[in-house]
A = this chain, B = another copy of it.
């Protein structure tokens, strides 16, 4: 593996999932990363992603250096040929090259602004680092994808499935704030690479980018989709067509006990943090069906499997 920026960087998904589950079983400190440094660069806040990736790196023997670009006011210039006489102190060319001097792997988080679709889809930050860094780059959630989360999700389904080809439903749920599409995008992508029966349910106006969902059935009828589901991934996202907006929604999409009963006693997933009783009701989150904590725990092993692959190159 040369980078881990999109799911396309995985050559054999099943193999990577098995490696992660093996790492989870062993759960011991390794030496492969000794003397190597992971640099984690955050243009946006992070809790789970930071902790799980930091832990994964340390379990591999790596040192970790964290940079909070947002708080340190490290404003980067991305334009070629720019005359840098304003507020941007450093060009991506130097930023990426210099970090490559200090780090053996660079991991970057940069959210979308959700204002200009074209700009967000250009993925300036993560692609800039890929272009100018001389070491592997890892995506800690970019404008349009969150491949470490998606790998965790696939690991969790693989770990918990009881049938060869389970039915997996990704369902939209309400949220007070407009959120990126990165998590559902990457989940939709990885499910298409998995041996599952995959359906997406969301209100009208909330269809994801069709280049990502491709031939996946998309329904606006949540209850119809939930029938016979073995896994339900509940997640909010803002509109892709009315980009970054939250068009009004008919009916209630909060995932509650009533909806759980429609499923085949499904395992309920969410990437966290979750707004209780808005996205998912207490009665579901506190039930045996919820696997959100186990799913969050698997973040460590997903990151560990990816970092080990990058170190092995």
Distance in angstroms from A80 CB to nearest chain B CB is: 8
Cα distance, A275 to B34, chains bound together (Å): 36
Q: Mark interface residues in A89-133 (1 if CB within 8 Å of B CB, else 0).
A: 111011101110111000000000000000000000000000000
Copies of this chain assembled into the complex: 3
The reply to whether B39 and A273 contact each other, CB–CB distance below 8 Å, is no
Cα distance, A66 to B286, chains bound together (Å): 28
Partner of A65, one of B28, B55, B97: B55
The reply to whether B51 and A83 contact each other, CB–CB distance below 8 Å, is no
Is A259 positioned at the interface, with any CB of B under 8 Å from its CB? no
Residues of chain B contacted by A45 (CB below 8 angstroms): 72-74
Residues of chain B contacted by A54 (CB below 8 angstroms): 65
Cα distance, A55 to B66, chains bound together (Å): 12
Cα distance, A34 to B299, chains bound together (Å): 21
Looking at A65, A81, A99, the one whose CB has the most chain B CB atoms below 10 A away is A65
Which residue on chain B has the smallest CB distance to residue A29? B35
**Top 5 A-B pairs, shortest CB-CB distance:** A101-B297, A90-B273, A84-B275, A29-B35, A83-B277
Q: 14 A-B residue contacts at CB 8 Å?
A: A39-B51, A48-B98, A51-B65, A51-B103, A55-B63, A77-B276, A80-B282, A82-B277, A84-B277, A84-B278, A89-B275, A93-B286, A98-B297, A101-B297
